[in-house]
Amino acid sequence: MISEDQIKNLIKVATLARQHAFIFRTKSKVGAAVLTSDNQIFIGTNIDGLVSGQGSCAEIVALNNSAANGCYQIKAICVVSRDSRFPCGCCLQHLTLFSQVDDTDIEVIAADTKGIYKTTKLSSLLPFPAKSIAVDLKIKKYQQ
């Protein structure tokens, strides 16, 4: 469980990230902020693709940013959009991969542009995820 102050900070950071959305086609800005187990924050924004399916969701960009910086243990993710939507199924499945690193039920926060938010756990949004065959994923495997 993360604190109210941490949630508000994630909303603030994701809102700032949202300003950098690369959305020449959809016109729908989304920002995301990932909180790691060591309290680092990594951001992402959505990127439209020229070809359908080629773009990236803000959540995927934030998670990949975290991984690119060697941080795989995720406590929470916050998504800020005009209508406070929760992550799509693809993003939830990507979160599941990270949740297996330390068996964390990641907290998921969806906020609108006014800061009004809802929070739930990954397991509530995706109760039957596809899981890795290597269920005993350990962080050391990825740091070699």
More confident residue, 139 or 121: 121
This prediction has a pTM of 0.91
Adjacent-strand bridge partners of 34? 42, 77
Enumerate the domain spans of the chain: 4-142
Q: What kind and span of H or E run contains 41?
A: strand 41-45
Query: What is the topology classification, in CATH, of domain 4-142?
Result: Cytidine Deaminase; domain 2 (3.40.140)
At 131 the pLDDT is 84
At 141 the pLDDT is 57
Q: pLDDT at residue 93 above 90?
A: yes
Q: State what percent of residues in the chain have pLDDT above 70.
A: 92
Q: pLDDT at residue 135 above 60?
A: no
More confident residue, 25 or 80: 80
| Distance in angstroms (rounded) separating the CA atoms of residues 29 and 17 | 9
Q: Which residue from 85, 1, 84, 73 is spatially nearest to 34, judged by alpha carbons?
A: 73
In degrees, to the nearest 5, what angle opens at C-alpha 88 toward C-alphas 86 and 111? 20
Q: pLDDT at residue 8 above 80?
A: yes
What is the overall mean pLDDT for the chain?
92
CB neighbour list of residue 55: distance below 8 Å, 6 or more residues apart = 25, 26, 46, 47, 48, 49
More confident residue, 137 or 92: 92
At 2 the pLDDT is 96
At 134 the pLDDT is 59
